[in-house]
Structure 1
Amino acid sequence: MARFYIQAVRSWLRDHFFKKRKERKERESAFVENGSKLLEKLIASCNGRSIPIRNFSAQQLHLATNNYCEPHLEYWYKGSLEGRIVLVNRLSDAKILAYLTINDIVISAQMSGHSNVLKPIGCCLDTPCPILVYEFAANGILADRIYVSRVTELRHQPMVWERRLKIARQIAHAISYLHIGFSRPVIHMAIDMESILLDENDVPKLSNFLVSVSIPEGETEVEAAGDFWSSKFKTPEIEATGKAMEKTDVYHFSEFLLELLTGEELYIDKDSSLTAYIRNHAQGRCISKIMDPTILAEQQLQAVLDLTLRCTEDDPQRRPTMVDVTKELRRIERFVPYD
């Protein structure tokens, strides 16, 4: 009997040893592969500038998040690292998403100096899909404060118009920086309410650079990988040519503006354009009937609606740039008359 137990213990120890060795090798392999990809992209995109990115182990993040037991938002977990509250973005265990998460951390790092971008702290590379660590955003996502249905369900106070307008201008400025702040313009490609988080003072933080893409040097457009885009993010130029440009972000921003105005999530029939949607629902009707009833500033509303229409032109060349959009929103904020 004693010999049987000894053999059983030896067998368990052997299996445990081989299992642990296999897990260690998998972590080491993931770290080398993900780390080399991250280093390659940082070197290619940062022009020699030093961008500090901390590396955390999978065990550190398990401890920091108490085994991911407290979701702050979908895929986002509240954690504590070295006495600091953080957001841990654990997108998936699927290796296929590794490239996208590395893309996110690289662009976030480049943008980390902008006050309206969610600042990255570090990442974990020893998992099949890297896990990202960001500054904490205490007030969640903007969608929960704008969409009337969510505001009601979560019993939030509706966001006042002045705050909405300021957020629109701040996010426009962050996107403008993506377009003009680097040697090669970066297109965000996924601007929406879910991609904007709010800190404890309701300062908006742009995030989600998973599918953002740089325009090649000497070019004005870039191939848009169709597999990633929901119908909400299809624009006339992507539908027609499969390519995106800086003005693609302008079109997406117009969707964001319209949702700010109406307080409703935008659903567009696949056979309709955003421009047609706005004109069919807005033009010829009293503006107060299509806008969030908590907003009373009708003059500013009309100005923002006019700007939204200009941003939805089917011809990208007729849309304003994001720099122009930012300037216009600042003028509307200040009640400065149009030229």
Structure 2
Amino acid sequence: MSNDRKEKEKAFFENGSMLLEKLIAFCYGKSIPIRSFSDEELKQATNNYDARLAIVQDELYWKWNKGSLNGLLVSIRKFEGSVHIIEGRGLSNYIINDLVISAKISAHNNVLKLIGCCLETRPPILVHEFAANGSLANRIQGTRGSQQHQSLTWISRLKIAREIAHAISYLHTAFSTPIIHRDIDMWNIFLDQHDVAKLSNFELSISVPKGETHVQVDILSWCVGFMSPEYFATGKVTEKVDVYSFGALLLELVTGQNLNDFTQLNNGERVDFSKPKKECVGLVVCMQNGAQGRCIVDPIILAGEGRASTIEQQLQAVVDLAFTCRKRESEIRPTMVDVTKELMRIERLVL
């Protein structure tokens, strides 16, 4: 037997053992319909991971590729980093966690549906439904990734915000114990051919144990700007951690910029939509406060169709909601169910 074959069998055994353990613990023995693919099948599906078929590559060495399996277009997520990163962070364990939670919640229309996986590699490769229009980050910020798409209008951004809020509400309320995503940002949101938003990447997701109000963790999510103060300081995780991160997502949808591009501003100022982008100061994003500030609105929004007064009203309402989500005191933040309802109300402010 070749060394390559031995390595694949070893990886399959180790990954399969972890998967079975997680499935038993997390899904209470319920059957989850996912397919198992071989490494060779996925190589053929992607023309050996042809760079021309790349959908997007994220910040942590994951590459999403377009593939075709028996005529079905799929998104294939494969690790492209070095071995020491895998060993140092236990990525196989994270991916198994992603796999199990994705399988459990894939029925939701705003979750990127899991089709199957390959357990012959370290870490496993995941196969999802095809995300024809790539990641939300590429559509809004246009930074990394190989695909170019038409920019998103304000109406589309507002719809996407509501759809993702609904998906997070589902995580928090649809099961016997809440599931906390812990890594909500634009890179973990994909869009199908109709620009329907799909939440993905559940590597860091965790359930609050029965009878408990929170869970304590040692490993934090990757982006400091999206982490709530109590999570960053103590590792305490509740549903309000996701609410805080969602507030950051709303600010990025309004400005079209990465959270880390914002500059600090004195407290107490209102949002100003009238000034050109070059004259606006940055948006307040400090974890220490939830004050409102002047906002650099994405010029694409301002150039869009519709009555300016109504767009301004919606923008102001969304920014107000974002800062409410980013309150320092977690108990003051709304639930994601309430956030979803508020976004629906804002959408009804018809143009």
TM-score by length of 1: 0.85
The alignment partner of 2:79 has SS state of: coil
> Is 1:287–2:291 an aligned residue pair?
no
Worse overlay, 194-203 or 237-246: 237-246
Q: How many angstroms apart in 2 are the aligned matches of 1:334 and 1:227?
A: 37
Structure with greater proportional helix content: 1
Partner of 2:54: 71
Q: 2:226 aligns with which of 230, 233, 240?
A: 233
3-state DSSP class of the match of 2:126? strand
Within 1, Cα distance between the matches of 2:37 and 2:147? Answer: 34
- The alpha-carbon deviation at position 227 of structure 1 amounts to 5.4
CA contact (8 A) 2:213 2:238 kept: yes
What percent identity do the matched residue pairs reach?
55
Instruction: Tell me which residue corresponds to 1:169.
Output: 162
Instruction: Return 5+ residue gaps in structure 1 as ranges.
Output: 1-16
Partner of 1:58: 39
Match of 2:79 among 84, 87, 91: 91
Residues in 1 aligned to 2:96 and 2:234: alpha-carbon distance in whole angstroms: 27
**Structure 1 residues 53 and 194: alpha-carbon distance in aligned structure 2, compared to 1, 3 A threshold:** same
Count of aligned positions: 308
Aligned to 2:288: none
Can you list the C-alpha shifts for 1:154-198, whole angstroms capped at 9, x where unaligned?
875431111111110010000000001111111111111111111
> In 1, are the aligned partners of 2:214 and 2:236 still within 8 Å (CA)?
yes
Alignment of 1:198 with 2:181, yes or no, is no
Larger radius of gyration: 1
CA distance in 2, matches of 1:122, 1:156: 27
Any residues of structure 2 matched to 1:175-324 within 5 Å, and which? 175-226=168-219, 228-267=221-260, 277=264, 280=266, 283-289=269-275, 290-293=296-299, 294-295=301-302, 296=308, 297-324=311-338
Bigger shift: residues 313-322 or 44-53:
44-53
The residue identity in structure 2 corresponding to 1:113 is A
Structure 1 residues 134-143 or 23-32, which shifts more?
23-32
TM-score (normalised: structure 2)? 0.82
Name the structure 1 match of 2:18: 37
Secondary structure of 1:313's aligned partner: coil
The aligned residue for residue 12 of structure 1 is none
Aligned to 1:9: none
Distance 1:211 1:183, change over 3 A: same
Per-residue displacement from partner, 1:86-114 (whole Å, max 9, x unpaired)? Answer: 11100246353100111111111111110
CA RMSD between the two structures: 2.3
1:37–1:287 CA distance, 2 compared to 1 (3 A): same
Q: Which runs of 5+ in 2 are unaligned?
A: 58-62, 276-295, 303-307
8 Å CA contact 1:232, 1:268 repeated in 2: no
Q: Name the structure 2 match of 1:331.
A: 345
Q: Output one character per residue of 1:265-309: Cα deviation in whole Å (capped at 9) or x when no partner.
A: 11178xx9xxxx5x7488235234421232340111111111111
Give 1:6's aligned residue. Answer: none
- 1:12-51 map, 5 Å: 20=2, 22-51=3-32
Q: 2:116 aligns with which of 78, 101, 122?
A: 122
Q: Taking structure 1 as reference, are residues 113 and 308 closer, same or farther at Cα in structure 2, changes over 3 Å only?
A: same
